[in-house]
Amino acid sequence: MAPRRPLQKLTSPSRSLSLVLHLAGIASFSYNFKFLTEWDVPMSKSYGWHFQFLTIIGLSASLLAFVFGALADLTLSRTLFRVKNYVAILATPMEVVISILYWGIKFIDPKLLMPTEFYIHIIPDVGFHLAPAVFLTLDLLLFSPPWTVPAYGIMAISTTLAFAYWSWVELCFSHNGWYPYPLFELLSTNQRVALFTFAAVLVTVSSSGLKWLYGQVNGYQTTKREAHKPLKKVHFSPTKHPNSNMMDIDDILRQVDPSSHGVPSEARDLQALTRLWVAERSAPELLEWPTDGLFERVNARIKTQIEKVEDMTGDMDPKTNFALIVIQTELERYKFLMRSFLRARLAKIDKHTLHYLSSQELRDRLSPTELSYATKHQALLHNHYLSSFLASFPQQLQNLNDTAGNISMIDSPDLDTAVFIRMLRDKDVYGKGTDADITLPATNGDVLIIRWSSAKHMVDVGDAELV
């Protein structure tokens, strides 16, 4: 089952309740289309078929959204889930408006919608003009993240589609000689402009109202006056959900609060990773691979945060969510430290592969993955040298690790390279020099320049750290 998004009520995509709702919607919408294929009316044989009706266009969008939703539930695909949400952003308020206009006009005068001879039974009538709005609204409130398209964006899109539909209706009229809705026959051109503009405004108001309702149902703070300000951009401010693992700004500030007691495990791991990264880049030889599970924890945390960021980025505007920006920045810092640390180790392995494979003590410094890499790397390199030039040498000269004459051909790191260390406790430091060796007193916090061969033991036992 896919993880529930932080800003939606129930899990979706999922193979449980979400799939049940989407399959029920598909069944309802498919029944309506089956009804149309069997309904013997002039529209069935006219130009544009039943797609002359806004109701059928909305029904098609509803069916498309729920098909993508069901596929997302079955495959747990985030991509299909987002496509469903994109379609539903316009289909849901449009279906709500269709329901309001249809039942409102029908209450006033049913003849404005359809001639009396084309009577529709109550079941398909509800299926066409109420069920899609109910299904899509339930999907929004229970299984969708909050909409982040601003109201003026919905206004622009709905206005464009409204006048595109008007053009489509006029095209069908030019072929059929009649309008799908008798109401259009009674309106002048200016009145039709006003009607379609009003419909676009209703879609925008409906979208804003659905956003407000979403906030009420899911417990998120929204602007109460949003429904009266259709051109105002919506910002959702989620309260801390008890089952949410998302780090919010309070968690981040608490980590650096000097009055806080204790350091969170995430902060400790980040500090440890940073120290390992600095030490690995400073030391001339490969250091011990940490065996305390640090990298397993960090990798798991990175994967979790990547999924969280992908979900939130696809469902909301990052510019309106400061916490998301902070989480993304922190994630990039973790990824940089991991990449840089591993590249520093790989560079040392590539340079002195035979050296680190020459003894069990040195091999123990490598992680299992690094050991496998070093072994395969050296085998490929040796085979390349054999095919290039070593094969022409005498047999006794074909080994890359020859030690004839007590002279090793294995290149080793220079352990006398100078390094910077910071003392972690008071201690007398012994260092080898070119002319003479010397011992100097050092206190906690002192930074010294010393040969790695002299500093290695102090770093290993925790008396000092590389900087």
> For the segment 371-413, what is each residue's pLDDT rounded down to a tens digit?
999 999 888 888 888 888 877 887 767 677 666 556 667 788 9
CATH code where residue 331 lies = 1.20.58.1030
Q: What are 73-120's pLDDT values in tens digits? A: 898 888 888 899 889 988 898 999 899 988 888 888 888 877 777 778
Question: Which residue bears the tokens 């006048």?
Answer: 163
Q: Is the pLDDT of residue 227 over 50?
A: no
Among 136-145, 417-426, 429-438, the range with the most confident prediction by mean pLDDT is 417-426
Q: With bands split at pLDDT 50, 70 and 90, how would you rate the model's confidence at 158?
A: confident
- Cα(10)–Cα(30) distance, integer angstroms: 26
Q: With bands split at pLDDT 50, 70 and 90, how would you rate the model's confidence at 234?
A: very low
CB 285 within 8 A of CB 413: yes
Q: What are 236-254's pLDDT values in tens digits? A: 333 444 344 444 444 544 4
User: Which among 319, 351, 383 is the end of a domain?
Assistant: 351
Residues 175 and 299 in one domain: no
- Mean pLDDT, the chain, rounded, equals 80
User: Which among 351, 378, 408 is the end of a domain?
Assistant: 351
Residues 166 and 33 in one domain: yes
Q: Is residue 114 one of the residues assigned to a domain? A: yes
Residues 78 and 222 in one domain: yes
Q: Is the pLDDT of residue 221 over 60?
A: no
DSSP 344-385: HHHHHHHHTHHHHHSSHHHHTTS-HHHHHHHHHHHHHHHHHH
Residue range 182-195: mean pLDDT, rounded: 84
Residues 267 and 142 in one domain: no
Residues 217 and 256 in one domain: no
**Predicted TM-score (pTM) of this structure:** 0.49
| Phi, psi values for residue 311, rounded to 5° | -65, -45
Question: Per the structure block, which two tokens stand in for 275?
Answer: 């120290």
Q: Of the candidates 142, 147, 137, 210, which has an alpha carbon nearest to the alpha carbon of residue 4? A: 142
- Cα(238)–Cα(166) distance, integer angstroms: 40
- Cα(113)–Cα(185) distance, integer angstroms: 11
Considering only residues 278 and 221, tell me which one the structure prediction assigns the higher pLDDT: 278
Q: What are 293-331's pLDDT values in tens digits? A: 888 888 888 888 887 777 766 555 555 567 777 778 888
Among 8-22, 327-341, 399-413, the range with the most confident prediction by mean pLDDT is 327-341
Considering only residues 130 and 223, tell me which one the structure prediction assigns the higher pLDDT: 130
- Work out the percent of the chain whose per-residue pLDDT is above 90: 25
Q: Is the pLDDT of residue 12 over 70?
A: no
Residues 156 and 266 in one domain: no
CATH code where residue 446 lies = 3.40.5.60
pLDDT at 312: 67
Residue 224 neighbours by CB under 8 Å, 6+ apart: 212
Q: What are 254-277's pLDDT values in tens digits? A: 444 444 445 567 778 888 889 999
Residues 203 and 264 in one domain: no
Sign of CA dihedral 223, 227, 232, 238: positive
Residues 65 and 121 in one domain: yes
Sign of CA dihedral 333, 337, 339, 340: positive
Among 150-154, 368-372, 377-381, the range with the most confident prediction by mean pLDDT is 368-372
The Cα-based distances of 253 to 247, 256, 323 in angstroms read 10, 6, 11
Residues 193 and 53 in one domain: yes
Q: Is residue 313 one of the residues assigned to a domain? A: yes
pLDDT at 422: 92
Among 56-70, 175-189, 403-417, 427-441, the range with the most confident prediction by mean pLDDT is 56-70
pLDDT at 225: 39
- Cα(172)–Cα(179) distance, integer angstroms: 8
Residues 188 and 323 in one domain: no
Q: With bands split at pLDDT 50, 70 and 90, how would you rate the model's confidence at 450?
A: very high
Q: Is the pLDDT of residue 340 over 90?
A: yes
Considering only residues 440 and 110, tell me which one the structure prediction assigns the higher pLDDT: 440
Residues 315 and 462 in one domain: no
Residue range 164-188: mean pLDDT, rounded: 85
- Stated as kind and residue range, the H or E segment containing 430 is strand 427-431
pLDDT at 261: 47
The Cα-based distances of 192 to 198, 210, 376 in angstroms read 10, 27, 75
Q: Is residue 337 one of the residues assigned to a domain? A: yes
Considering only residues 241 and 61, tell me which one the structure prediction assigns the higher pLDDT: 61
Q: Is residue 7 one of the residues assigned to a domain? A: no
Residue 187 structural domain: 17-228
Q: Is residue 8 one of the residues assigned to a domain? A: no
User: Which among 335, 351, 367 is the end of a domain?
Assistant: 351
Q: What is the number of structural domains in the chain?
A: 3
Residues 171 and 264 in one domain: no
- Stated as kind and residue range, the H or E segment containing 419 is strand 418-423
CB 7 within 8 A of CB 139: no
Q: Is the pLDDT of residue 65 over 60?
A: yes
> Which residues are 418's β-sheet partners?
451
pLDDT at 313: 62
Q: Is residue 372 one of the residues assigned to a domain? A: no
Q: Is the pLDDT of residue 460 over 70?
A: yes
Q: Is residue 364 one of the residues assigned to a domain? A: no
Rounded-to-10 torsion of CA 368, 370, 376, 380: -170
Q: With bands split at pLDDT 50, 70 and 90, how would you rate the model's confidence at 223?
A: very low
pLDDT at 50: 86
Q: Is residue 237 one of the residues assigned to a domain? A: no
